[in-house]
Structure formats: structure tokens, C-alpha cells
Amino acid sequence: MKKSICIVGLGYIGLPTAVMFANHGHKVHGVDINESVVESIRNKQLHIEENGLQERLDEAIDSNMFTVSTTPVKADVFILAVPSPISEDKTANLEYIRSASKAIAPFVEKGNLVILESTVPPRTVQDVVIPELIPTGLEIGTDLFVSHSPERVIPGRVFEELISNDRIIGGVNEESAKMTSDLYRSFVKGQMHETDDTTAELVKVMENTYRDVNIALANELAKLSATIGVNVWEAIRLANFHPRVNIHQPGPGVGGHCIAVDPWFLVELNPEIAKIINLSRKTNDGMPAYTADLLTTILQAKGIETNEAKVAVLGLAFKGNIDDMRESPSIDVVEELQKRALNAVAFDPHIKKNNLEIQTQNMDEALEGAEAAIILTSHDEFKNLNPAQIADKMNRKIIIDTKQCIDREKWQAAGFEVYVLGDSKNSPM
């Protein structure tokens, strides 16, 4: 049965989810507190970058199955897909969740389903969402059904994974879980795994914590490898041939709204227990400083005066081929370079608006007169960059590749010195 759905939050998860439901026969109303976002969507203009989103948005609006505004409307189903960031003290900021829950309360009616999609600390449904729904007077689990079904997609492949990935469905009771599973079967081909809401909350945070801890291991191995004459990328590749080993890749830090944030939810629950998780977060948060030190050491070894030396920063998004800067370690690397009195100029082909004072929309401007260029994001534009086209622009032909994304031999053949994070077998220093 087709439903009317009100989705609160039209960002990287909410908007793709909204158009998927609209494209599959449900009447969807999207809500966002940002008026400019609402106006852009209404005019079929994207405020985020995602493969296949434009076509799906056009179809959803042209078919009159998708409308948007800054306020909720009555519906059969309410989906909350708002941010759940961390505060400066590394504790969860759940005010967006609380505000969204409170905003829909006046529109909720008997028989409705409320789904929280945002990734949150365990017990958020019980301690934040439900208390805001209590004033409706509806009995939770009998009159009003509530569940948590966390998104499990990656930017750049959102639609592919919305369809194919299994979903965790955590209901406050069995009926809530069943109603949620039935709804997502509109387009999800993956399996539905039903459980309770708090378990579902923990599962999503566990998934991202596993990856964060694994990346911290890779980063420690990268640091060790650099001291013993080993290329960590080759060592990891070989280790992963073991059928029970899957070591992740090192890099300049961990970004994105999930992996860099969610582990702190568990640390906050009990810091005395979550010691490995805490240390892993600190290890990964320390990589931007390590990366800046690596660059400074290379320049100094070449006799280059680092004070006000220009460095081209290539990549600001936290991941290749997307425009998402949330929690991007590139931002922290830039700050660390500035602390070392380096003149950083940044370019990212996927981020069309300057979000930093040192950002430019012209790669040549970033490279012109630079003593070195440091690649922080593995965009295809950087992987496929022709070294001959930029050789004359830079003051020195020095490339630091923190993602192992360029062909070192090709760049060395063009006269560049190439340094790779975690590989002591670089060009002679």
C-alpha cells in the first residue's frame, strides 16, 4: 500500500531517500529549516552532489509526488533524517533530533509511523524522540509506532546502496518494526533485519567504530613502516590476502559525518570501558598534524625556507569524487599547515563554492609558484592529472600523495619528486 510520507531533513541522506520513495509511488513531502535549500529543491536545483540525484529529483517533482517546504504536514509516515553532530567536547549534540521530533508532534495522528534514520547514540529513540511524542496523547507502540532504521550508504553510491544494502530495522515493538520493513520494501532489495530500537542504534555506531579502529591501526602501521624502510600500502595489500584479514588504508585523517563522529557516541557512554575506541579516535584525529609535519620535514630537508612557503592543497572533500566537506581531515591539515607558517592555497574540483579563505576555484592558481603540492582527496581529477601540464607552474616539482592515488613512476619520469604517506621508499630526500 502506498503511503504519504513526511521527511524532515533534506541533506545527503534525507533528499535521496525522499526522491526514492516518491519515485516508487509514495506521496512525499520534504521539510528543511533552510529556506534556500527548500527553494533550490523546488526549482529542481541540487545543493548537494550525488550520482543520479538530479534525474530522480526531476522525476519526483515533475510527477507531483514530491513537494517541499519549511514545515511538516500530516502524513502516514514521518522520517527524521537530520544531523546528529558532536560538540567541541566530543559529546553528542541531539538538538536537531529533539527539534525535529517536536516539530512533527502536532501533525502526528493515530496509526502513524515515526522512523528515525539519523545515526545516533544508543537510547536516543527512548530518551529523546519518544519524550517529544508523548504530548500527542497517543500510546507508543499501540496508537503510534516508532522505529530506528539507520542509513547505511556511502556518498557517491547512495542510490546503489539504498537499493542493495540490507537494512537494520529497530522497532519499539514488533509491529513498529514490521511496518517499517514493509515501507522500505518499496525499493530496497536487501534483507530486512528486525530488532529493537536500541540494538539498531548500537549496530550502526558499531559499524562505523569498527572502521575507525581499523583505520587507526592502518595509520599506526603507516607511521611504523616509514621508520623501517617499508611501503605500508604494499604490506597491507599482501596482508589482506589472508582470508581472515582486512586491514583498511591509512591517510591524512578520517572524515565524514559518520566514521569521524559516531565512535565518540560510545566513548561518551563510558570512557573507562571504551579505551580502544577513544585511543583510535585520537590516533586518527592526530593524522592531520602528522601529515603537516611530513610535508614540513620534506621541505626543510630540501633546504626550502618554510616560512610563508606556498603549498598547493589538492582536495577538501573527505572522500574522492564527492563534494562533502563534513569533518574532512583536509580542513585540519590546512589549519596545521597554517600553524607552521606555510601559505596554503586549496583547490577541490567538486566543491564549487569557496568555504575557506584560502580556497580557489582554479587549480592553476593553487599550483602557481608552489614549493610543493599535497594530495589529500583521491578525486579522479587528481588521479588522472598530467604531470607535464603542471610542471612549469610549480616552483619546485614536489608532490606529497597521502592517498597513494597517483602513478608514482609517471610523475617521477616527468621530473617530480613523489612522497607517499606511509612509504619510506620515496624519492631521495
The residues carrying an active-site annotation are 204, 258
Distance CA 45, CA 61 (A): 11
**What would the grid cell of residue 192 be?**
530486512
Phi, psi (deg, nearest 5) at residue 96: -65, -40
3-state secondary structure the chain: CCCEEEEECCCCCHHHHHHHHHHCCCEEEEECCCHHHHHHHHCCCCCCCCCCHHHHHHHHHHCCCEEEECCCCCCCEEEECCCCCECCCCCECCHHHHHHHHHHHHHCCCCCEEEECCCCCCCHHHHHHHHHHHHHCCCECCCEEEEECCCCCCCCCHHHHHHHCCEEEEECCHHHHHHHHHHHCCCCCCCEEEEEHHHHHHHHHHHHHHHHHHHHHHHHHHHHHHHHCCEHHHHHHHHCCCCCCCCCCCCCCCCCCCCCCHHHHHHHHCCCCCHHHHHHHHHHHCHHHHHHHHHHHHHHHCCCCCCCCEEEEECCCCCCCCCCCCCCHHHHHHHHHHHCCCEEEEECCCCCCCCCCCEECCHHHHHCCCCEEEECCCCHHHHCCCHHHHCCCCCCCEEEECCCCCCHHHHHHCCCEEEECCECCCCCC
Residues 6+ apart with CB under 8 A from 354: 360, 361
Residue given cell 559518520 in the structure block: 258
Handedness of CA 232, 238, 242, 246 (dihedral sign): positive
* Parallel, antiparallel or unpaired: strands 4-8 and 398-401: unpaired
* Parallel, antiparallel or unpaired: strands 417-420 and 113-116: unpaired
| Among 152, 154, 153, 156, residue whose Cα is nearest residue 50 | 156
Strand partners, 311: 344, 372
